[in-house]
Structure 1
């Protein structure tokens, strides 16, 4: 009669190794923890997420508003608050841009044009100034326009503007101005304004442009401008309806972000009564300009 056999505590592990010689050892990532019981955490609330810190207690915000003064001193905290305000607060800034400062080559007398704007103020309320003008070499300046506007943010990326405009070349004319300026979807910059002159004439202007980057430094900018009038204004050579329409494209190269020379082409049409006024004055109703200029800001 043979002796009784004793159980080998390792026999099961040996058999498993022999039956599955190619099995990989289980890692913590491969283990299924869904079936594991954790009695200690069974009644615990669900975690807000693996990356989220424990929320602060409710009494964390009940202290005095300047409690840090008692620890670090009022002088030290005053400097910190000033730095925070200058970094993230509603503080005043000065910004200036020459959007177009260019020479224009065309049939007949070559000319020049400037289109400047800037502001001083905070993030929601600003004093905004604009100036446009153009002329031909060897002749008096044709147009000089100055605007002084109060600008107020009414939506993200949009300002409502109001103020005065003064034209200095030709018949002096003063206008009341109300307009809107900002970014529309697809990053079009738009600037629209309604003008009421001291003579009671109503005109309007709508400008739109779009910056499209070809490379980090090379940018193409299509631009369009539409001028309208509610009535004929013979002394200004403006006819009722559409006064003029401009469309052009400029290709600029950013030497640095603040300085970018450019070249381009622009077509200007005067239509309707404005075309009749231009022809009567010996001017062309349609002009093609080849432009070279510089755009800069600070």
Structure 2
């Protein structure tokens, strides 16, 4: 049985390891566009704040150690750009050499994750604009802070990631402002609870500007200020934590059923409308256990293991 897994962070590596534990004869290959696999995404903001001190603490397994431990073949810096369901193949690009290769499968697991939203505004590519999705993101931000390049920062997005980054920057002595276009930070939470958190942030010198839209990032070669719908704010860095979009462009027009947000629809067993293809993690729209309705829940959860318990695999 040849099983191909697209994506090698949390969901992809967990599925791969479980498959090999179930049957050592499975031929399991992971294709991932990043250099790292199996890293602690939830720990990235805490590396910025030096709560997690060493980079190595973010990396659960290297490609070499994971392969040696599980017997899974891991190909990094390999981005899947096309899939052919009829031939049961995917086409991937080697990001180091631009070489294209074709990989076949008996069963395919899509665990391609998601990428941060990059707004179409002026200055989004300036030096000093950061995201918080990969180890390189947190390493770059921490290095800039430790080099004394960042004294004032604006975090755009008042969700979990944005607030964790704000907290850890503040711990490093950076003056932080959090922007969110919603009425309160932590959208979806009870307003009374959100107001309590906003007051708590203010007590720790973190200003939360709600009902405020980011309009532009200004500067000559690096970030100097942000322009909001209310006023300009001086800063040395902007951290964009405005949400994520599923990495599923290669699945468009393939016949796989996609939701409006381009996540892949799966059933309660994480199976797509193609019985030989599964989807897990941030790229999948799962079946709510109570309502049975399709729900996008891009957070770590135990459902990623259901895919390897089916008799089909």
Shorter-chain TM-score range: under 0.3
Flag the structure with larger Rg.
1
Structure (1/2) with the larger helix percentage: 2
TM-score by length of structure 2 reads 0.19
TM-score by length of structure 1 reads 0.20
Structure (1/2) with the larger strand percentage: 1
